[in-house]
Structure 1
Amino acid sequence: MNEEQLFKQISLVRQATLKQLESVTEAQADEQPEGFRNTIRWNIGHIYVVQNSLLAKFGGKPVATPSRYIELFAPGTKPADWEGDIPSLDELKQELEEQPLKLKEVLSGQLDDEAAQPFLSLPTVGEILNFTIYHEGVHTGTVKALKDKAAK
């Protein structure tokens, strides 16, 4: 897969994620039904944080993430532990909408670069970026399941 195809795929997956959020309210974003470890708000913040963090930490690329987002949405965090200001649903949607273009601006021409440190034995920046598509799909599926559960 060439660079342009990978960025196109990232945008396609992101549009599917954003489509799942179209009818979600602030209240629904924070519902945590029995059997679920997190909420819609956590899952979408997590998608954003993990994509940036993997490329910064393992890829060694200058992809910035607000420290507050990392405190809230990094692996191992959960809404039950949140205190203080929490990003609104609109704020998170905007970050998700802008992220693919920002990543393209930062990473263009560098996808074949060797990663600063391999992630899951993925040796290049592009392979790490490609993994984030899978990761997003998993969490978008969880968002859909949370929405379906709330609709019942």
Structure 2
Amino acid sequence: MLAPAASAGQLDWRRIARETVGHLRAGHARHPGGPQMAPLVAELRSHSSEFEACRIDHTVLERSTGSKRVHHPEAGELRLHYDILFLGPRVAVFLDGCFWHGWPEHATRPRANAEWWRTKLDRNISRDRETTAHLTAEGWTVLGFWEHQPPRRWPTQSRT
């Protein structure tokens, strides 16, 4: 909110700003009295009327999943679906459901309305590949995990 470039490519900047402030509130609630929170909030309040407008609506958000619409100078408008984004280190984390994202060993396809489901699920897999390729090309580390995998395997897998 202090860097105009941060919002320049965000097509849903107002929503993103409100969610970001909501996440900040949630973090503050988990770690009240943290030594870095008061100076950060003071700086944002004094330099960003947008932050202040979001702050006074008292939104608190815990969720990390969502989608962002961004404008890329070469690729145009992109919609990125994510489970968790770490903007500073540029890490995107996806937790994929076996049915919705086509785990090859045990994902099933419904028999009723089979053509519609095939198209829908194939598009999910295609979108996963497109999103991963785009983020990787932009210098992001993309991590992907399957819902059935034990968490002890999660920290070392990249999404392919």
Which bracket does the TM-score occupy, shorter chain normalised? under 0.3
More strand by share: 2
When normalised by structure 2's length, the TM-score is 0.27
More helix by share: 1
Bigger Rg, which one: 2
When normalised by structure 1's length, the TM-score is 0.28
Higher relative contact order at CA 8 Å, sep ≥6: structure 1 or structure 2? Answer: 1
